[in-house]
């Protein structure tokens, strides 16, 4: 497992010039922009970079070589989820630091503890992007997975737009939103984390199934 993580870390650092550009942009955005956009931006970027290591593994029939090494396919899948989580957490922490520095420069009076529940929600919610991308990447490869991913997020956007329209004309949605607003932020955080864990576990099982059926 540690060997696979080291491999992916080295593959990630190959693109250090691109990463430096992204972090320079993040630094400027974090200091100049209000809100928590920079935290989401860095977290989602980190998951994309982490999942992108699968493309490096596939390149030039690399899977056939990797599977000769002393680990099984389940370990390979587990490492991809763990590596994505590590990069997401590091990016989230870096984003929070940039956000705090920006708030100090702008003399923002809202304390970090007041924003903490919202900031904590971002991490599991955005990590779901890795849970979606990993099985798609394993099943369809880099090119086809992008098409499937764009289609998936397009459907999600349509559903969100449709639910918003329905909620505007439905008392049930209004009562549901009112009841959710009455809950403690940390209770909502616990619910979101639990849902994200269940969805990620389902994605993990799907990825293992895909990897076991994969032929090299």
- The residue among 22, 49, 195, 51 whose CA lies nearest residue 121 is 195
pLDDT of residue 70: 82
* Chain segment 5-23, per-residue pLDDT in tens: 888 888 787 777 777 777 7
Report pLDDT for 3. Answer: 81
Question: Are 29 and 38 spatial neighbours (Cβ–Cβ below 8 Å)?
Answer: yes
The residue with greater pLDDT, 65 or 174, is: 65
What are the contacts of 212-215 at 24+ separation with CB within 8 A? 212/73, 212/74, 214/63, 214/73, 214/138
pTM of the model: 0.79
**For residues 69-95, average pLDDT:** 89
User: 3-state secondary structure string, 118-153?
Assistant: HHHHHHHHHHHHHHHHHHHHHHHHHHHHHHHHHHHH
Q: What is the mean pLDDT of residues 33-54?
A: 80
Render pLDDT for 105-140 as a digit per residue (tens, 0 to 9).
Answer: 766 655 556 667 777 777 888 888 888 888 888 887
Q: What is the pLDDT of residues 177-209, one digit of tens each?
A: 555 556 666 777 788 888 888 999 999 999 999
Q: Regarding predicted confidence, which is higher, 92 or 103?
A: 92
Question: Among residues of the chain, what percentage have pLDDT more than 90?
Answer: 11
Q: Computed from CA positions of residues 185, 191, 197, 200, in that sequence, does the dihedral angle turn out positive or negative?
A: negative
pLDDT score at 144: 64
């Amino acid at each position: 497992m540690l060997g696979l993580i080291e491999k992916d870390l080295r593959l990630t650092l190959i693109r250090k010039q691109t990463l430096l550009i992204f972090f320079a942009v993040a630094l400027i955005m974090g200091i100049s922009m209000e809100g928590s956009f920079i935290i989401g931006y860095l977290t989602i970027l980190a998951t994309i970079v982490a999942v992108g290591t699968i493309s490096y593994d596939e390149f030039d029939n690399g899977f056939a070589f990797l599977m000769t090494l002393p680990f099984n396919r389940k370990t390979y899948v587990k490492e991809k989820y763990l590596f994505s989580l590590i990069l997401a957490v590091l990016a989230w922490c870096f984003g929070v630091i940039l956000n705090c520095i920006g708030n100090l420069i702008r003399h923002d009076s809202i304390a970090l503890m007041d924003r903490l529940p919202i900031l904590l929600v971002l991490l599991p919610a955005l990590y779901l992007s890795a849970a979606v991308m990993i099985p798609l990447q394993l099943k369809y490869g880099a090119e086809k997975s992008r098409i499937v991913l764009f289609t998936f997020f397009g459907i999600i956007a349509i559903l969100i737009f449709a639910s918003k329209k329905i909620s505007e004309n439905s008392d049930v949605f209004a009562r549901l939103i009112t009841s959710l607003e009455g809950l403690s932020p940390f209770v909502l955080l616990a619910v979101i984390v639990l849902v994200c864990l269940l969805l990620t576990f389902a994605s993990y099982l799907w990825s293992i199934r895909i990897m076991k059926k994969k032929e090299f």
